[in-house]
Amino acid sequence: MKKITLGLVGFGTVGSGVVKFLQDRRSFIRDRFGIDFFLKSICDRSIDKKINKTIEKCSLTTQWEELVKDPMIDVIVELIGGVNPAKEIVVNALRKKKHVVTANKELIASLGQKLFEEAHQNGRNIYYESSVMAGVPIIRTLTEGIVGNRVKGLYGIINGTCNYILTEMTDKGYSFEHALADAKNYGYAESDPTLDINGMDATYKLAILVNLAMGKFISVKDIHTEGIAHIAHDDIEHAESLGLNIKLLAIAKQHGQEIEARVHPTLIPKDHPLAIIDGVDNAIFVETDPLGDIFLAGQGAGKMSAASGVISDLLNIAVNEGSDARSNLANLAHDTADLRMRMIDDIMTKFYIRIMAIDKPGVLSQITGILGQHEIGINSFTQKAHNRASTVPVIMLTEPAPEKKVRLALEQLHKLPVVKSKPVAIRMENP
């Protein structure tokens, strides 16, 4: 029986899930794999408030240094999130010759390259399956299952909070504010949900996926990011009538030596597999060559889902113990230097455009005239029945157009006296 001793830093939602998972599945893991995980110590800054019978046999502390310095501990499980002090914990653990398991997307996205080099230098590994899509094994899929393939593109619903909000707005007719309040009540959104609804949570995850799928470390600053706060129920209704759904997608594509990466609300056909992913579930659609398209879906958030990914990482450590960090494709510290980013201005997509305009003769010709000046082709348009002296939505679907030209056209449209609010533009994709 192989015994691996653990130190857990962070006894919040995911940390408590890991403890429960280890307790509930300990016999199975021992019988099936011949491995016994022993949780020796737990560190949490509020540990006095969290003591319960499930952790009575562990040493408890508020000082993470005690775990890192303990020669009996083989693996540090870091579940506190953020960059500081998580970076210090991980670096010191590696230097003390301990493997690290983390669910920290911000840390890996921001400092992954440096941390992987640190792991190489110290002959240890970093595992981070739960940093993206929690227990859904996208990281292992990219680094093991399809590693011989070329990834041409990926499209992911990788933030459960936003997916829940958009689902409630679509299915129940809720306003954004109502859906967000429900998400908080059910524990699907943090008390401060800013990183979710502004798209940054998905952006951190996309940066990790681009590195693993396309071999390029990119800064989150290079990823065009938009949240969902500006999505109105009117847009959801119009999308429904057009046979489309609105989802917050994380998108990456490779064009020769260029990579594009972006996170934003996206219209996709209702018959696409991503369109039916509702609630807090996550999913990712990956275009590969020569394998073809693959699709993974499941619970992308939650206590036991994230804990499942952590346990998977621990088993990987046990099975691969003694392997050099350079043999772990998830820990590569170098990238493909000649790959470059394609900036958002140069990206071509189709657009849904909604313009609230005064309903009078000649308005449509003014709008289409400005779009024509910027060489933006119109695929279709819809205008509600005339109701003189009121404002009505003019809905247009464009042909593929460069982002920069669309933005310039929208700025010009906004200045028209007949346009009464800022035009709304949502990109369209058909993965």
Q: Which two tokens stand for residue 109?
A: 């996205």
Task: Tell me the pLDDT tens digit for each residue of 288-328.
Answer: 999 999 999 998 878 899 999 999 999 999 988 766 666 78
The CATH number assigned to the domain holding 158 equals 3.30.360.10
Clarify whether residues 292 and 308 are in a common domain.
no
Clarify whether residues 101 and 185 are in a common domain.
no
Clarify whether residues 293 and 309 are in a common domain.
no
Clarify whether residues 164 and 186 are in a common domain.
yes
Domain hosting 358: range is: 344-428
Task: Tell me the pLDDT tens digit for each residue of 76-89.
Answer: 999 999 999 999 99
pLDDT given for residue 323 in this prediction: 67
Number of domains in the chain: 3
pLDDT band, very low/low/confident/very high, at 358 (cuts 50, 70, 90): confident
pTM of the complete model:
0.94
Clarify whether residues 187 and 225 are in a common domain.
yes
For residue 104, report the phi and psi dihedrals to the nearest 5 degrees: -90, 95
Contacts of residue 260, defined as CB under 8 A and 6 or more positions apart, other chains included, come to 251, 252, 253, 341, 342, 344, 347
Clarify whether residues 263 and 211 are in a common domain.
yes
Q: The tokens 């970093």 sit on which residue? A: 126
pLDDT band, very low/low/confident/very high, at 50 (cuts 50, 70, 90): confident
pLDDT given for residue 386 in this prediction: 58
pLDDT given for residue 390 in this prediction: 81
Q: What angle do CA 382, 388, 393 make, to 5 degrees?
A: 30
The verdict on residue 63 lying in a domain is yes
- Asked if the model's pLDDT at residue 392 lies above 90, the reply is no
Clarify whether residues 43 and 100 are in a common domain.
yes
pLDDT given for residue 336 in this prediction: 84
Clarify whether residues 315 and 293 are in a common domain.
no
SS3 for 314? Answer: helix
Q: Which of residues 329 and 309 earns the better pLDDT score?
A: 309
pLDDT given for residue 427 in this prediction: 97
- Asked if the model's pLDDT at residue 191 lies above 90, the reply is no
Q: Tell me which DSSP letter residue 28 carries.
A: H
Q: Which long-range contacts (CB under 8 A, 24 or more apart) does 422-425 make?
A: 423/353, 423/354, 423/355, 423/356, 424/230, 424/232, 424/235, 424/353, 424/354, 424/355, 425/351, 425/352, 425/353, 425/354
Mean pLDDT over 322-344 rounds to: 84
pLDDT given for residue 164 in this prediction: 95
The verdict on residue 258 lying in a domain is yes
Clarify whether residues 9 and 102 are in a common domain.
yes
pLDDT given for residue 255 in this prediction: 93
Q: Tell me which DSSP letter residue 276 carries.
A: G
The verdict on residue 371 lying in a domain is yes
Mean pLDDT over 351-360 rounds to: 91
pLDDT band, very low/low/confident/very high, at 361 (cuts 50, 70, 90): confident
Clarify whether residues 271 and 348 are in a common domain.
no
The CATH number assigned to the domain holding 317 equals 3.40.50.720
Mean pLDDT over 200-226 rounds to: 96
Q: Which range among 63-72, 91-100, 182-191 shows the weakest confidence by mean pLDDT? A: 182-191
205 is catalytic: yes
The verdict on residue 100 lying in a domain is yes
pLDDT given for residue 94 in this prediction: 97
Task: Tell me the pLDDT tens digit for each residue of 110-169.
Answer: 999 999 999 999 999 999 999 999 989 999 999 999 999 999 999 999 999 999 999 999
Clarify whether residues 174 and 265 are in a common domain.
yes
pLDDT, averaged across the chain = 93
The verdict on residue 395 lying in a domain is yes
Helix residue spans in 258-373 (DSSP H): 303-319, 363-373
Exactly one of 87, 105, 205, 253 is catalytic; which is it? 205
For 293, other C-beta atoms within 10 Å of its C-beta total: 12
Mean pLDDT over 371-380 rounds to: 94
| Rounded percentage of the chain residues whose pLDDT exceeds 70 | 97
Quick one: how far is CA 100 from the chain centroid? Answer: 21
The CATH number assigned to the domain holding 406 equals 3.30.70.260
The verdict on residue 290 lying in a domain is yes
Task: Tell me the pLDDT tens digit for each residue of 395-431.
Answer: 999 999 999 999 999 999 999 999 999 999 999 999 8
Q: Which two tokens stand for residue 292?
A: 């073809």
Q: Beta 35-43 vs 340-341: how paired, if at all?
A: unpaired
- Asked if the model's pLDDT at residue 387 lies above 80, the reply is no
Task: Tell me the pLDDT tens digit for each residue of 218-253.
Answer: 999 999 999 999 898 889 999 999 999 999 999 999
The verdict on residue 67 lying in a domain is yes
- Asked if the model's pLDDT at residue 329 lies above 90, the reply is no
The verdict on residue 141 lying in a domain is no
Clarify whether residues 189 and 270 are in a common domain.
yes
